[in-house]
Structure 1
Amino acid sequence: MIPASGYFPDFLTPENSRPGGIESIVEDVAGCHRNVLRDQLDLLGRGRGSAWLERLYEADPEARADLRHLLRDYQRIALAPHWNAIRNSVEADRAMRTRALLDSGIHGLLHSYRPLMRWTPPVLQVRYAVEQTLHLGGRGLLLVPSHFCQGTANSLADPALPPVLVYPAGYDRTVAPVTVRALGRLMGTTRASILIAAGTATTSGELSRRVGVSAATVSHHLSALRAAGLLSTLHQGELVLHTRTSTGSALVNAAHPSGS
C-alpha cells in the first residue's frame, strides 16, 4: 500500500482527534469506510499482483484484521524503541515554531520554515514531490512536524479533506547517547538554572542574561546538557536556539515543589 514513490492512500494517515493513543489510530485506519477504502485503493492501482489488497478492497474482515495486526507490530518494532527520540524531535520543532510565532506573529512563523517553504502572502510555496495546488477556501492549515519526513513536505491527496501539511521536524542530529558519565556532569545550580530557563526555545545570550553567567560558561553547560539528552540545539537561519527535551522537562518537573 505504500510504494517507493508517488501516491499512497490518505486513509493511512487519519485525522486522530479521539483519545485512545495507538489503538484509536489503528482502528481509524483498519476500520475505514468501505467506499473510502475502495476509492483510494483504485487511485493506488489496486491489485498489483496482491491478493491481500484485493481482499482489503472488498472490505474482507480478515484482511482488515491483518491490517490491524500489521500496524500494531510496526508500532512495537519500529516506533516504541525510539519513541523518546521521535518525541524529542517533534517537541523541539514545536518550541522553535512557538518562539517564531511569539516573536513575529503568523508571518514570522511561516518565514521560519525557509528554505522548505516560502511565504509570499497570500501564497505558501512548499518544496514538494509533485505539482499540487491546494486552495484553503477559508479553512485552516494544520502544520505537523514529523520525525520521519526527509527533504520535502507531504499533504493529503484529496483536496476535500481537512488541509494538513506534514514537514520534516527540525531537530538536533548531533545528540550523543546518554551515558552515566554524561549524567554525572549534570550536578550544580548553574546547570540546573540553565535547564529550567530553556523551557522555551532560547538563545545562548538570553540564557546568559537569565542565569547571570558569562557566555563561555553557558556554552560549557549547554554542551553537558546536550550530551545527557536533556537539551536540544536547533538552527533557525542564523539564530541558534536551545530547548529542553521531554527528558529534560521531566527532570525539571520532578524537582518542582508542587510535583508538576
Structure 2
Amino acid sequence: MAPGPDALWELLLSLYRLRRPEGKDVFGPWKRAIRPRVPASARLLTDLIPPAGYAPDFLTPATQTGTLDAGLEALRSTPSTRLAADLSELAARHPGRPTPGWTRALAAGRPEIVGQIAGTAATYFTTCLDPYWPRIRELIDRDRAQLNRQITDGIDHDFLTTVHPSARWSFPVLEMDYPDDHDIALDGRGLVLQPSYFCWGTPITLLDPTLPPVLVYPINHKTPLAVSQNNPA
C-alpha cells in the first residue's frame, strides 16, 4: 500500500480530468476554479498527455515517498532509452496526433528539455493542485485506513473489492476491468496499491511490465475539493 497520494500520478490524472466531462459533480468546482489559472507552460504537459488513453510511463516514476520533489528528481533522471521508447509508444498509440518538434530533443535525452518538463510540472502542481493538497491527502488517507482495516481483520482477498468493484480473483491471477487487454506478471515482485483522487472509473497502471508494478485506483469520491491551507506535497 502506498504511503499516501503520489504527486505525479495526481498531476497526470488531473490533466485528464481537466479536459474530460466525467465526474462533473466531483471535479466541476475544481475545474472552474483552476481553469483561469492554468499556466500557459502546461501546454508542454498536454502535448505529452492526450485527453484519453496512453501517456508516457516516464511521467509517473516510482518513488519511495510519492512527494513532488521525489517525483521530479526521478523524472529528471529518466534514461534517454526510456524517454525514446515512451515517446515512440505515444506516437504509435495516438496516430495522427500532432507531435511537437521539441519532443525529438526530449527523446534524445537532452537534459535542458527534461528539466523544462520537470519545471513545468512543478509550476502546474503549485498553481492547480497544491492549494487542494491537504484535502486530497486527507481523503486518500481515509481510503487507505479503510483498506488497511480490512486487511488487518483478515478478510482474505475480499478486501480487493474495496480497491475496485470489478476486482476479482481467478487464482493466482487478479482480474480487473481495464480499457485495454493488459497483463502484468509480478514474478515475485510486490504490487503497490496507489489510491488516487483524480483517478476515475477503472484503475490504471503502467504500460511497461518491466517497471515496478503499481495499480492506481480511484478512491470513493463523495464531495468536491475545497481549497485549504498549503501543506508540503
TM over 0.5: yes
Question: What letter matches 2:60 in structure 1?
Answer: T
Helix, strand or coil at the partner of 2:163: coil
> 1:54 aligned to 94, 100, 104, which one?
104
Residue 50 (structure 2) aligns with: 3
TM-score, with length taken from structure 1: 0.62
C-alpha RMSD of matched pairs (Å): 2.5
Deviation, 1:137, is 2.0
Helix, strand or coil at the partner of 2:175: strand
CA distance in 2, matches of 1:127, 1:26: 30
CA distance in 2, matches of 1:78, 1:108: 36
Question: What letter matches 1:40 in structure 2?
Answer: D
2:12 equivalent to 1:12: no
Helix, strand or coil at the partner of 2:212: coil
Deviation, 1:175, is 8.6
Runs of 4+ in 1 over 4 A off after TM superposition: 174-178
2:210 equivalent to 1:160: yes
CA distance in 2, matches of 1:49, 1:111: 40
Deviation, 1:177, is 8.6
Helix, strand or coil at the partner of 1:154: coil
> 2:78 aligned to 10, 28, 32, which one?
32
Deviation, 1:87, is 0.5
Helix, strand or coil at the partner of 1:150: coil
> 2:180 aligned to 122, 130, 133, which one?
130
Bigger RCO of structures 1 and 2 (CA < 8 A, at least 6 apart) = 2
> 1:107 aligned to 132, 140, 157, which one?
157
8 Å CA contact retained: 2:193, 2:215: yes
Deviation, 1:18, is 6.3
> 1:88 aligned to 132, 138, 158, which one?
138
Deviation, 1:119, is 2.7
| Unmatched 5+ stretches in structure 2 | 1-47, 229-233
2:73 equivalent to 1:23: no
CA distance in 1, matches of 2:125, 2:64: 19
CA distance in 1, matches of 2:225, 2:210: 40
Question: What letter matches 1:13 in structure 2?
Answer: T
CA distance in 1, matches of 2:212, 2:132: 29
Give the percent of matched residue pairs that are identical in Structure 1 and Structure 2: 35
Residue 121 (structure 2) aligns with: 71
Deviations 1:52-79 (A, max 9, x none): 2122112223212211220110110111
Helix, strand or coil at the partner of 1:127: coil
Residue 29 (structure 2) aligns with: none
CA distance in 1, matches of 2:157, 2:197: 24
Deviations 1:158-177 (A, max 9, x none): 11112111000124427989
2:144 equivalent to 1:97: no
Question: What letter matches 1:135 in structure 2?
Answer: A
CA distance in 2, matches of 1:69, 1:114: 34
Deviations 1:130-169 (A, max 9, x none): 1112222222211110111000111110111121110001
Residue 147 (structure 1) aligns with: 197
| Unmatched 5+ stretches in structure 1 | 179-260
CA distance in 2, matches of 1:52, 1:34: 14
Greater per-residue strand proportion = 1
